[in-house]
Structure 1
């Protein structure tokens, strides 16, 4: 994903890999945040939105649901909630903070650099 993003940014600037210009310089000149940071921010934004819903709402019930059944062999599949927990650890926030919308947004939002 990062490679495709940088390819598009280089194309926007009219620069090729042959010009040997660093990715950080290109990203800084366009004033754009990395797409992975944007994804983390949007994932945490949606998680906060769902956690502020009442307990009886469908999305909240689905998040707390446990599915019974056979577990296949090998490494466990990476789930959406696993990604959310990684993002929360990276940003240094906890689930209790979701109740305070402004604080949650301030700590999890990834704005473009100015």
Structure 2
């Protein structure tokens, strides 16, 4: 945000909110970009041949016990959360045009 303020010539004294600065610059939040990228990659993984290592790893359950305490967030869980947030199903990834249209976040 500091770099954006500097490029746009906006001082902290103007007390503009970050959302307003992003709107003026035509940018979206970085979390939205990450979510979109994660879903795009997931679409590639689903369309891979069944013999590909990445796809095998995705489909195979994790073995062993999990450690005590708070668990690390797995990529699989974040993908599922992102799909629920967007109302997507795994079947939709096989139609590339539809998947791309539903995954992409329009820029403001």
> Normalising to structure 2: TM-score of the pair?
0.89
Alignment partner for residue 3 of structure 2, among 3, 8, 25? 8
> 1:12-64 CA deviation, whole Å, 9 max, x = no partner?
21223221112222112111111111100000000001101121111100111
CA distance in 2, matches of 1:110, 1:37: 7
Does residue 82 (structure 1) correspond to residue 77 (structure 2)? The answer is yes
5+ unaligned residues in a row in structure 1: which ranges? 1-5
| Aligned residue-pair number | 108
- Please provide the CA RMSD for this pair: 1.4
State the SS of the aligned residue for 1:88. Answer: helix
5+ unaligned residues in a row in structure 2: which ranges? none
> Normalising to structure 1: TM-score of the pair?
0.85
Does residue 63 (structure 1) correspond to residue 79 (structure 2)? The answer is no
Aligned to 2:68: 73
CA distance in 1, matches of 2:89, 2:61: 21
CA distance in 2, matches of 1:105, 1:71: 35
Structure 1 outlier segments of 4+, above 4 Å: none
